[in-house]
Chain A
Amino acid sequence: MGKKLLLLLTGIVLMFFLVACSEDDANSENESGNNELTLWAWPGFGLGELAEEYEEETGVHINIQEADYGDVHQNLITALASGSGAPDISAVDEGYLDRMKENQDQFHNLFDLGGEELEGVYLDSKWEQATNADQDFLIGVPTDVGPMVMAYREDIFEEAGLPTDPEEVAAEIDSWESYVEAGRQVMDETGKYMINRTSDLYLAILEQSEEQYFTPDEEFIGMESDQNLRAWDIASSAGDISINLERDTAEWGTALADDQIATVLLPPWMLQNVKNAAPDSAGKWNVTFMPEGSGNFGGSFLTIPKQSDQPQEAYDFASWVMAPEQQLRIFKNSGPFPSTPEVYDDPAIQELEDDFVNNNNLGQIYAEAAKEIVAGYKGTMHDPVSELFQDGLISIEDNDTPPEEAWDNVIDEVDRQLNR
């Protein structure tokens, strides 16, 4: 009896080995015969069709493995730390990019693989993020950008006595002070809110500046950085024009559909979220420039981890799929906005039409906004610190915490977290 069980167990174990081995064989065959590259990304890149086309042309199969935004980065960092399991190509969002740049020895320098040819193809702000300070290390091929614009409800603006024509709106609301003022007018005249949450207003203002929380030496300057102080002051005084709902939640969607929110500060890709949340508001929206220039929201890079044993093939694909023509095609397939200025003159962008917004110059506004983006220096702790400032602002909205007290709490907590 015991022997039989033992045999059975050994059999099972052997079978595992066999399966494992045969998988290995298949892989190595692929690597030598027709190449296969693995690519990690989160949903929304729109690479599927192009990857198939690339395989037809070159015989290189691109195995796109999608996971959640947060999971992709955590998995990548875990794989890098453990020394195995990383893909040939991984998308990295700008929020995590500085952490990766800090550990650039974990990645192939794309300058060694022919990356010089990419210089000048992408927006300067994108290029600055992708390279290190000395301009001798290129960590990834830039993907999309998220130029911030202001979407507003024509019907609510009209009711409030504000202009509705995009150019006039941009002229009237040309500073954040006048934005808040217009918001008070909307509130007084219609009882509706200008924005969903003050923390989103804060982020939009902060992103307009190169200097945010950290200097390139990773020194925290949040207490004296002009833009951060200004963003905090304006946002913390705007509680009365905010409905205090988190973006992209069910309640946010209900409020949009219920015509309660007059403006959404958004990058092109987020317009889809508004459409999904409030399909009945189609035709009531318009889009114009945000006060005081644009900013960036989202946008990534295709990196090649050192663990990849076919970096050249990986680079060839990444640089091809993010070349201007391909980025334009991704955009046409309702993907994110290209980061390559040379396609901004293309009819597909210049004559972009969208039934959801009453604006024939939509594409031009996006393109114009994209050129205005400045590359804010982020640093490895940007996101957690930003989270604390946003929470501080929400606590003012939630329960009337005095702004000074909220500010002190944030600075104390930042200080503790940075010294860990």
Chain B
Amino acid sequence: MDTVQKSKQYRPKRYSQKASEVKSGYLFISPFFLLFGVFGVFPLVFTLYLSFHRWDILGETEFVGFSNFSSILFNDPLFWKAVGNTFSIWALSTIPQLIAALLIAFFLNQAFLKYKSFFRLAIFMPNVTSVVAVALVFSAIFGTQYGLANYILSLFGIESISWSGSYIGTHIAISVMVMWRWVGYNAIIYLAGLQGIPKDLYEAATIDGANKLQQLLYITVPLLRPIIIFTVVQSTIGGMQLFAEPLLFGEGSRSQGLTMTLYLYQEAFNRFSFGYAAAIAWVLFLIIIIFSLFNLFLTRKIGSS
């Protein structure tokens, strides 16, 4: 009797405490969800809505069904050119970049190297530079008539390249800009990964007579696998969203520097076709997902074989 009454008395109190904990719990996580709702979910849903409409932002929206999507897929060579450019620039910048970053990290991790922190800092510096400044300097370097790059080529007797006027020239110029900014970032990540590899493995390998290259290929790379996957995925996402560099360098007369996101931006803010731009955004979303999965599959395969 007594115990029952006690528990009856306690129950509501415990209940309310729990409820208030629940409440404050939600309150604590609410800032994220509010911000995410306003800046994440709403634009996502609204973009989907817009992609089925024609809208110049000031006027009324007009429902057009799937016509935006069918135009993109079947009647827009410029879009597919942008996709091609993006992948080409991505490949030209990411593959050499990651290899270079790995070699730099391997070098920075060597015991014989002095002033380690200085080199680490120096290699990371380009990453904190403003893209606009980088693009301005590189545009001057890759000038066709008065550029530094063509001057250096001329010293070797190579004919000057029209950097802003040809496909390969524009792709290389933009890739070099991307590489310069991101190679240090990736090197630092690899360096962190390298430091997690036990030193005795290298010592044992040295004793067994393995040279530095063999150590790199048979110890470092396999053990760095998860980190390599991480950087590949990062670079893929970054490469697919390449925007500021081509915008500032110039897309060229045949749109050879036009990337997917730049095309989306121009559609929305130069031509004010917001519906079409929204549809492009969704197609891009799909392309990036497919490509990331493919990438993941590939890096897994390489790592495990």
Contacts and interface: CB of A to CB of B under 8 A. Distances in A.
B24 interface: yes
B26 interface: no
B115 to A, nearest CB: 35
B195 to A, nearest CB: 36
B23 to A, nearest CB: 10
Contact of A81 (B27, B57, B269): B57
A413 B78 CA distance: 8
B253 interface: yes
Interface string B69-80: 001000110100
A68 B165 CA distance: 27
Contact of B24 (A2, A74, A250, A383): A2
Given A6-B24, A416-B75, A399 B162 contact: yes
Nearest to A387: B270
B209 interface: no
A399 B256 CA distance: 12
Nearest to A409: B254
Contacts of B78: 413, 416
Interface stretch (B82-90, B100-108, B271-279): B271-279
B292 interface: no
Interface stretch (A41-49, A160-168, A389-397): A389-397
Contacts of B24: 2, 6
Interface stretch (B2-10, B138-146, B198-206): B138-146
A81 B254 contact: no
B254 A243 contact: no
Taking each of A78, A395, A401, which has the highest tally of chain B beta carbons within 10 Å of its own beta carbon?
Answer: A395
B255 interface: yes
A387 B54 CA distance: 22
B250 interface: yes
A251 B254 contact: no
A78 B87 CA distance: 32
Contacts of B136: 250
B59 interface: yes
Main secondary structure of the interface of A (DSSP, over half): helix
Interface string B131-153: 00000100110011111000000
B58 A420 contact: no
Given A250-B139, A392-B253, A420 B276 contact: yes
Interface in A4-22: 5-6
A111 B213 CA distance: 80
Interface string A404-420: 00000000010011001
Interface stretch (A99-107, A132-140, A178-186, A354-362): A99-107
B109 interface: no
A416 B71 CA distance: 9
Interface in A229-257: 243-246, 249-251, 254-255
Main secondary structure of the interface of B (DSSP, over half): loop
Contact of A245 (B28, B145, B254): B145
Contacts of B58: 77, 80-81, 99, 102-103, 106
Contacts of B252: 398
B166 interface: yes
Interface in B48-76: 54, 56-59, 68, 71, 75-76
Interface string B236-259: 000000000000001011110000
A381 interface: yes
Contacts of B54: 420
A337 B253 CA distance: 32
A420 B250 contact: no
Nearest to A401: B254
A392 B269 CA distance: 21
A245 B147 CA distance: 12
A398 B57 contact: no
A284 B39 CA distance: 56
A85 interface: no
A384 B270 contact: yes
Contacts of B254: 391, 395, 398-399, 401
Q: 3 tightest CB-CB pairs across the interface, nearest first?
A: A398-B165, A394-B253, A395-B253
30 contacts: A2-B24, A6-B27, A77-B272, A80-B58, A81-B57, A103-B59, A243-B145, A244-B165, A245-B145, A250-B140, A251-B147, A254-B146, A380-B272, A381-B271, A384-B271, A387-B270, A391-B253, A391-B254, A394-B253, A395-B253, A395-B254, A397-B165, A398-B166, A398-B253, A399-B166, A416-B76, A420-B68, A420-B71, A420-B271, A420-B276
Given A380-B56, A391-B255, A420-B71, 11 more contacts: A102-B58, A246-B250, A250-B139, A384-B270, A391-B253, A399-B165, A413-B78, A416-B76, A417-B273, A420-B68, A420-B273
Interface of B: 24, 27-28, 54, 56-59, 68, 71, 75-76, 78, 136, 139-140, 143-147, 162, 165-166, 250, 252-255, 269-273, 276
